[in-house]
């Protein structure tokens, strides 16, 4: 929507990805000071592609999560916020992946791997 000014299911998917990042990171979509603000999608993506999931996770969780489940959630958020709308998943696929992430979280005790 931001570039094309057209609302669609795929723009909703992007918005869902932003909300998922907000939940994972405990940050707003745009954060920082007026002089230097950051967008959560770009900030989180730069950390994730370097393999640094721990630095984006909301510090209030304090390691009380399954790392594999968090990686799965990050992959979902990345897919949802793909730059090209054609590369974004359908909500049905997002739901399947989220259920897998929840299953991982519930099956394995909260351990750091």
| pLDDT tens, per residue, the chain with 113 residues | 455 677 889 999 999 999 999 999 999 998 887 777 789 999 999 999 999 999 999 999 887 889 999 999 999 999 999 999 999 999 999 999 999 999 998 886 545 44
Beta bridge partners of 71: none
Domain assignment present for 113 = no
Determine the structural domain holding residue 96 and report its residue range: 9-107
Domain assignment present for 13 = yes
Domain assignment present for 30 = yes
What is the Cβ-side half-sphere exposure of residue 112, based on CA atoms within 13 angstroms? 6
Domain assignment present for 67 = yes
Assessment of whether the complete model's pTM goes beyond 0.75: yes
Are 67 and 112 in contact by the 8 Å Cβ rule? The answer is yes
> For position 19, which CATH number holds?
1.10.510.10
Give the CA distances from residue 100 to residues 9, 11, 33, 40, 72, in Å, rounded to whole numbers and listed in that order.
22, 23, 36, 24, 8
Q: How far apart (Å, rounded) are the C-alpha atoms in residues 93 and 4?
A: 24
Domain assignment present for 26 = yes
């Amino acid at each position: 929507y931001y570039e094309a000014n057209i609302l669609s299911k795929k723009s909703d998917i992007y918005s869902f990805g932003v909300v998922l990042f907000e939940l994972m990171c405990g940050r707003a979509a745009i954060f920082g000071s007026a002089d230097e603000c950051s967008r959560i999608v770009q900030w989180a993506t730069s950390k994730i592609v370097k393999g640094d999931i721990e630095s984006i996770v909301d510090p209030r969780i304090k390691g009380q999560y399954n790392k594999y489940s968090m990686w799965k959630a990050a992959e979902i958020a990345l897919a949802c916020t793909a730059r090209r709308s054609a590369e974004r998943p359908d909500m049905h696929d997002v739901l399947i992946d989220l259920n897998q992430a929840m299953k991982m979280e519930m099956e394995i005790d909260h351990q750091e791997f």
